[in-house]
């Protein structure tokens, strides 16, 4: 049946959506930079799921090809990498406030990690693409995670491919342990950031209240 589909034509709107969304999300990052503010977005990547992966997932989940547009949420997929866990929640807030997308599902794997140890925040939404025939609404998914979460997920994915999804028990345990170490690293870095910000605020407060105390004298 897949041979009857014009895959190139079918995927064009998804490719267009990924490119448009990458530009928009990178634009948000630039806006924060221009305001000299901390940007919650470190960088953005995107891809359209390859035909082979679409067919494999459709077979696994018993999704008829004629229902791909409505039943497969991640044909168009984006990833937003953040420095801190708090940035993830800020990105989600920014997405909720946009009027060019309609969020239909959120999956919080930060608070509720997967059994494997995987952590990320997934947002599934509808996005309008302008095509020759008019407007076409497609489904897209964005995964939001820290750099360290992305490192773990990338390695786990490559190992999962190697083992065909059947990890030996000791590997599962070690991967979970590594996932927890990654989360502890994120927590520690967030705490260090907060302490630095508090110290900077205290320094600024002292500068305002005691300007003469902080004047430098020229010594010849």
Q: Tens digit of pLDDT for each residue in 159-170?
A: 887 777 688 899
Residue tagged active-site, from 141, 194, 198, 215:
141
Domain range for 86 is 2-147
Tell me the CA distances in angstroms from 36 to 3, 39, 44, one per residue in order: 52, 9, 20
Report the CATH number at residue 79. Answer: 3.30.460.10
pLDDT given for residue 125 in this prediction? 98
* 29 is a domain residue: yes
Show the low-confidence residues of the chain (pLDDT under 70): 1-3, 165, 203-220
Q: What is the pTM of this model?
A: 0.85
Residue 95: its H or E element? helix 85-96
For residue 31, being part of any structural domain is answered with: yes
Tens-place pLDDT, residues 111-156:
999 999 999 999 999 999 999 989 999 999 999 999 999 999 999 9
- How many domains in the chain? 1
| 141 included as an active-site residue | yes
User: Could you give the dihedral angle defined by the CA atoms of residues 83, 87, 92 and 98, in that order, rounded to the nearest 10 degrees?
Assistant: -100
Residue 154 lies in a domain: no
Q: Is 161 part of a structural domain of the chain?
A: no
Q: Is residue 46 part of a domain?
A: yes
């Amino acid at each position: 049946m897949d041979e009857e589909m014009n895959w190139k034509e079918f995927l064009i709107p998804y490719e267009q959506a990924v490119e448009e969304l990458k530009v928009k999300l990178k634009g948000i990052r630039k806006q924060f930079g221009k305001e000299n503010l901390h940007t919650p977005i470190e960088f953005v990547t995107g891809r359209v799921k390859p035909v082979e992966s679409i067919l494999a997932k459709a077979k696994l989940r018993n999704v008829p090809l004629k229902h791909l547009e409505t039943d497969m949420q991640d044909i168009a997929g984006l990833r937003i990498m953040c420095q801190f866990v708090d940035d993830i929640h800020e990105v989600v807030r920014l997405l909720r406030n946009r009027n060019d997308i309609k969020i239909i599902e959120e999956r919080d794997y930060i608070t509720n990690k997967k059994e494997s140890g995987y952590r990320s925040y997934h947002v599934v939404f509808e996005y309008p693409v302008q095509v020759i025939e008019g407007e076409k609404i497609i489904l897209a998914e964005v995964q939001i995670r820290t750099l360290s979460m992305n490192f773990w997920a990338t390695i786990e994915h490559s190992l999962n491919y190697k083992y065909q999804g059947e990890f030996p028990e000791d590997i599962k345990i070690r991967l979970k342990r590594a996932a927890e170490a990654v989360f502890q690293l994120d927590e520690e870095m967030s705490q260090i950031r907060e302490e630095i910000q508090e110290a900077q605020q205290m320094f600024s407060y002292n500068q305002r209240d005691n300007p003469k105390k902080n004047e430098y004298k020229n010594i010849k």
